[in-house]
Amino acid sequence: MTQLAYDKQRVAQQFSRAAGSYAQHDQLQRLTGKALMASLPQHCDSLVDIGCGPASHSAELAQYTQTYLGIDLAAGMLAQAQHCQPQLQWLLADAEQLPLQHQSVAVIFANLALQWCNRLSASLQQCVSALQPRGQLLFSTVLAGSMEPLMSAMQQLDGQSHHNRLLTQQQLQQQLAEVEGITWRVEVQQYRISYPSLSDMLADIKGIGANYTADRSSGYFGKARWQALTRRMENYRDDRGLLQLNWNIALIYGQKINSNSAEKLI
């Protein structure tokens, strides 16, 4: 089945609507962001934060750099970021059309943002072009098998897949291999978020804007379907009586090859 492309205008609208609620529902983003930041250099002259959202990590990231720039596709997210951190710099732009000068950035950071790219390898190549020699690209992305058991429970109800296009680890490695001029290190981690109810789980998904689906006909709601999904999810409660949402997350650390050194020949 042909995968539908992401409509970037719809993606931007979805995340703009979530700007005010994002900080109350971004537990996963904070966990993955913290993991990525552990590998940041102690200081760099410039750092670009792609998919910065409502300044989720901006204050922390700004401590690592002389110049911070937050980029987001959603105008609503940037308005919230500007309100929270007015002293920092912000730019409305798509990660697939980065307006960054060649070799102008020391570090690019992108936490759970690049899975919205229709051509990941092309976007990563733009990032590599913008990096200074031996600059670093740190990003996280969602892999196939995430959002279980919710996605399986929904598919059991209507026989339809409700996933967006999520790469397997092998597909991710293939995408990374297409990018020239950089070396990669990949870690895959499983994150499990607990909820007292299905309502709380879906509130988190909606609250961060992640309820966008490339298929406009997909959705969670409708009274009869909601009741059926609620009953089905009850089968997945753990021994503490909580519902789990499982995420497979790839943490990727890249370093640009110094074209002036012998490293390029290795």
Inside any domain, residue 60: yes
Inside any domain, residue 196: no
| pLDDT score, position 161 | 58
Give the 3-state secondary structure of residue 115: helix
Per-residue buried b or exposed e for 162-199, using 16+ beta carbons within 10 Å of the residue's own CB: bbbbbbeeeebeebbeebeebeeeeeeeeeebebeebe
Residue recorded with tokens 């995408």: 175
Quote the distance between the C-alpha of residue 112 and its chain's center.
1
Structural domain range at position 128: 8-146+166-191+248-265
What is the rounded distance in angstroms from the CA atom of residue 230 to the CA atom of residue 67? 47
Count of the separate structural domains present in the chain: 1
Inside any domain, residue 233: no
| pLDDT score, position 175 | 96
What is the rounded distance in angstroms from the CA atom of residue 257 to the CA atom of residue 243? 44
| pLDDT score, position 265 | 26
- Whether the bond between 41 and the residue before it is cis, its omega within 30 degrees of 0, is no
> What residues are paired with 63 via a beta bridge?
none
Inside any domain, residue 198: no
Contact 212, 11 (CB under 8 A): yes
pTM assigned to the model: 0.90
Q: Dig out the tokens for 57 from the structure.
A: 């990590």
**Nearest to 258, CA basis, from 126, 137, 173, 131:** 131
| pLDDT score, position 44 | 97
Task: For residue 121, give the CATH number of its domain.
Answer: 3.40.50.150
Could you tell me how many helices (H) and strands (E) the chain has, helices first?
9, 7
Inside any domain, residue 213: no
Inside any domain, residue 64: yes
Inside any domain, residue 230: no
**Residues of the chain predicted below pLDDT 70:** 1-4, 159-164, 212-221, 259-266
Inside any domain, residue 260: yes
